[in-house]
Structure 1
């Protein structure tokens, strides 16, 4: 099977590594806007060749788009315009509704499967690609009823080869859920990093920084060119999640100032997150309501 991967950074490169290892693809084609990244991807054997988008699509049985969400919206209709009738297309963007909207009426809409693998790191570029990045994680497939059965089956098989469990929900539900569990943490990390760097004596702060600060602020190392478009695409639900978070921050602030008992109650309540995260079932999840509750408690 010829598989083209558009975008050879952390996500696309990691997909390429695991699909090669699983013998899912007989030939891996890369599409990469950065010449330096294209050369690096070839040097480290992420892909067998790098081609312009049109040439890659023409040779592909499966096209995997792994670029920032604003760029996905631009090229997805072009890819569907050019594919052969039997070619499958999927994207790995962190937002789904606006992407789905741009191809809603496309004559080859059923060739497209909207997906979001819930995995990643703060690193970027081909050298950031990792074996096993997706193992045991969940991928969300959206609006599966709008995809042709053979195309849906192929994308499901791809994610299973990556070692992922699969959840199904609408694009809107996906955006709502990930605003809380993925997008909000990145906003918080950027804000925390800015707060620490705003201190005049910040060099002392960073000299003292240990595991708690470093793990919390790690996401602030993520590439703005990828996360900025996500924040804009999912603005409605990210603002909702931010407003909820700010409400809880204010409640915590007030309790620290004026109500020590309430402060401890808030902390005790927060520790229940252990039960939620520790009890997440890694088996295949198809119940939309279950996964929404799991991620938004």
Structure 2
């Protein structure tokens, strides 16, 4: 059973919307080289474990990545990575698909080691994460906020370069940490679009968010939430909307439905009990709100989750 520390709302959100990191493969090559292809994932991750790589995507976005850097791509359809000069005749490296056991192939001389992966999102995770991510988020390994990220990349490099038994399992665990540390580092950016990641990183609004997360069924009033943030009602409402992209009560209503979705997927809690726990006046009002958000009733949602290959109790 996975638990979260009190007040750890980023971990709580990641757990309830079931955001998963996947490392799909990697390569080691001596420059000049190029690797390009289509991006079919919701959110793409590229990490440079050693050496350098020039990243270019559709829309003109680009980044120069050095060892310890990570790029998080959102809503992109094409990706090109170059090692060395873009004008030199380069060896073409197909994007790696799947994770091969054993070490990445190495070459003589200074080499670049790159791993790629993605963040797997369900509909709720896509709804929450997409609006709050820039097209390309370049996380510098030298940033103070990325010190744990550098440690994760170091562990990945060890697994990629060694012949230890169980490396595939280890890489899968490090992929989750890579997602977490990438989101943590991204949350500190000042240019994040409005969204839940920016909201959860806002220290002034955090006490009000904590109240809503810790007791989602309570009929919160605006003045109570504003008081927790040491702000006026008007100032709090405007700051919350500007940071999250929604009003405080729209956020609370969506969070209640997220909790309900998770409970319906992973527990046998009755619809009546969920309605009472989450602050709805009646099972009927809960069912109406749930259907308005998800398009199906709570009972239909539970039945669909029970037969889905990705569901688990």
Please confirm whether the aligned pair reaches a TM-score higher than 0.5, indicating the same fold.
no
Instruction: Say which structure is richer in strand.
Output: 2
Instruction: Say which structure is richer in helix.
Output: 1
Alignment TM-score, normalising by the size of structure 2: 0.26
